[in-house]
Each structure stands twice: as structure tokens, then as C-alpha cells.
């Protein structure tokens, strides 16, 4: 297989595997660029757009939830309006802060050591939170009070540092604010839709001319999108079942091991 398309498939797999796990998809894509030795700036737009494939997986898997909420909105059911309200409110901090620090975040995308340290720090944080948090008061997205939703939205913004993990920050933030594990994970999935759509739209407005560059054209983007979508479909169902039974500790240990290994490799090369 052509090396270019092998890279496309590999990046699609990495995105689909890591977008919804608390391990940082952006961080893994940055480390993959260092490991494979390709120019990460050339693939930056590709990496952003194929995230939409993973987002589509959420829509497909949870279409009944979205349908029920949509019908509930039409019937003016309070639970559906609270569901929508909580998603919008949690998204607002990322939209405001993301616009404010966008250029600084882009600078960090070229810093693999930042990713490695963030992986380790995030892993330690997950272990500490898992040990400390025992009370789970909220068992549905619509049940989370507005003040706590704002807190989750603000905590999600920490994930603008590459390697932190958007899903990890959202889930751990929700856990510390009294949301039970499965609901925290699903809230992270649903919140990814407006967050990633917003991030992709911003990138398209700023760098849309790079999409059809000689190195990464529409055929590559389409292939990466499809691979990301298929892998994410499989990962989401597995992830929800795993965390419901075993919690997030396995991902914490993975982050720590991956971060240490990345630091050793970056120092030795």
C-alpha cells in the first residue's frame, strides 16, 4: 500500500480510538507525527476534519436519544429542554476561551514534550479523582444543575492543552461535581458534538485553503473520515461498558505509561 494512504488509515484509526477515551486524541496524533516522521503542519487540517467522523459515530449510536430529545422539544417537555440547555451551557466556555487562546493553543500543537507531560499529569489526576469521589448524585444529563454544568464546561477548557484530553477533562470534571460514571461519559460524547463542530468550523474559516493541498486532498480526508467513524463506533460501545464496571483507572495507567515512554523516546532520539 502507498505510504501516504497507510498514514491516512493509521491517523484515522488513532483518531477513532482516542477521541472519546480519556487519553487525548490530539496528543496521540501529535506523537504519531513525531514517531512516523511526517510534517504535522501539513496534516493539521486533515486531523481536525476527520474528528467529524468520530462525532458522526456518536450521532449514529445515540440516534434514539437525539430523536427522543427532538420530539420532546416539540412537545415542550421540560426534561428535553433541560438536556438541550445543559449541552449549550457546557459548550459556551469552550467557545469563548477557545477563540481567545486559539493562536497559543496552535503553538502548543508542535510541542510533543507538552503532550507527554500532560498525559502523565492527567493519568495521575484520574487516579486521584477515582479514589476521592464516592458520591454520585446525578444520573441523567437533564438532572445536572446549571451551576455544575458551567463547572463542567470550564473544566473542559483545560483540554485545550494538547495531551490533556477533552473527554478526560469533561468526564473527570463531571465526576468531581457528582455525576455518575456512565452519565459523565455520555455527557462527554454529546458535548463533543458542538465542541468539535465549533473547532472544525474555526479551522475551516482560518485555513480552508489548506484542505486541498498537494499532500492531503479530499480523497485522503474522505478515507480518514470513514476509518475514524468505523473505529469510533466500536470504541464508544466498548468504553461505556468498561467504565460502568471498572471505572477509569485502566486509562489512567495507560496515560502514565505512554507519557513516560514518550519522554524517554523524545530524549533518546
The set of residues, in sequence order, having a beta carbon less than 8 Å from that of 86 and lying 6+ positions away, is 141, 142, 144, 146, 149, 187
Reduced to 3 states (helix: H, G, I; strand: E, B; else coil), residue 50 is: coil
| pLDDT tens-digit map of 180-210 | 888 998 899 899 898 888 877 777 777 666 5
- Tell me: pLDDT of 66 over 80: yes
Domain residues for the domain of 226 are: 3-268
What pLDDT is recorded for position 214? 47
Average pLDDT value over all residues in the chain: 84
Lowest mean pLDDT among 11-20, 188-197, 214-223: 214-223
Split at pLDDT 50, 70, 90, the class of 232 is very high
Average pLDDT for 168-184? 90
The three-state DSSP-derived secondary structure of 194-246 is: HHHHHHHHHHHHHHHHHCCCCCCCHHHHHHHHHHHHHHHHHHHHHHHHHHHHH
In the chain, the number of structural domains is: 1
Closest CA to 159 of 208, 125, 204: 125
Amino acid at each position: 500500500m502507498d505510504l501516504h494512504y497507510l498514514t491516512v488509515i493509521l491517523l484515522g484509526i488513532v483518531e477513532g480510538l482516542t477521541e472519546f477515551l480519556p487519553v487525548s486524541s490530539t496528543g496521540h496524533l501529535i506523537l504519531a507525527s513525531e514517531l512516523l516522521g511526517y510534517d504535522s503542519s501539513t496534516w493539521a487540517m486533515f486531523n481536525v476534519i476527520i474528528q467529524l467522523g468520530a462525532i458522526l459515530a456518536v450521532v449514529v449510536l445515540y440516534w434514539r436519544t437525539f430523536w427522543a430529545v427532538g420530539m420532546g422539544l416539540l412537545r415542550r417537555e421540560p426534561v428535553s429542554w433541560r438536556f438541550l440547555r445543559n449541552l449549550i451551557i457546557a459548550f459556551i466556555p469552550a467557545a469563548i476561551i477557545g477563540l481567545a487562546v486559539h493562536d497559543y493553543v496552535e503553538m502548543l500543537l508542535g510541542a510533543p514534550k507538552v503532550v507527554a507531560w500532560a498525559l502523565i499529569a492527567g493519568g495521575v489526576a484520574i487516579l486521584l479523582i477515582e479514589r476521592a469521589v464516592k458520591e454520585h448524585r446525578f444520573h441523567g444529563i437533564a438532572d445536572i444543575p446549571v451551576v455544575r454544568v458551567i463547572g463542567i464546561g470550564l473544566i473542559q477548557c483545560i483540554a485545550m492543552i494538547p495531551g490533556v484530553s477533552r473527554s478526560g477533562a469533561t468526564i473527570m470534571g463531571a465526576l468531581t461535581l457528582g455525576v455518575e460514571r456512565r452519565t459523565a461519559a455520555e455527557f462527554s460524547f454529546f458535548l463533543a458534538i458542538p465542541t468539535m463542530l465549533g473547532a472544525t468550523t474555526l479551522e475551516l474559516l482560518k485555513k480552508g485553503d489548506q484542505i486541498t493541498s498537494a499532500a492531503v486532498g479530499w480523497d485522503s480526508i474522505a478515507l480518514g473520515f470513514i476509518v475514524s467513524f468505523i473505529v469510533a463506533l466500536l470504541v464508544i460501545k466498548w468504553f461505556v461498558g468498561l467504565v460502568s464496571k471498572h471505572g477509569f483507572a485502566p486509562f489512567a495507567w495507560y496515560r502514565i505509561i505512554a507519557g513516560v515512554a514518550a519522554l524517554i523516546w523524545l530524549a533518546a532520539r
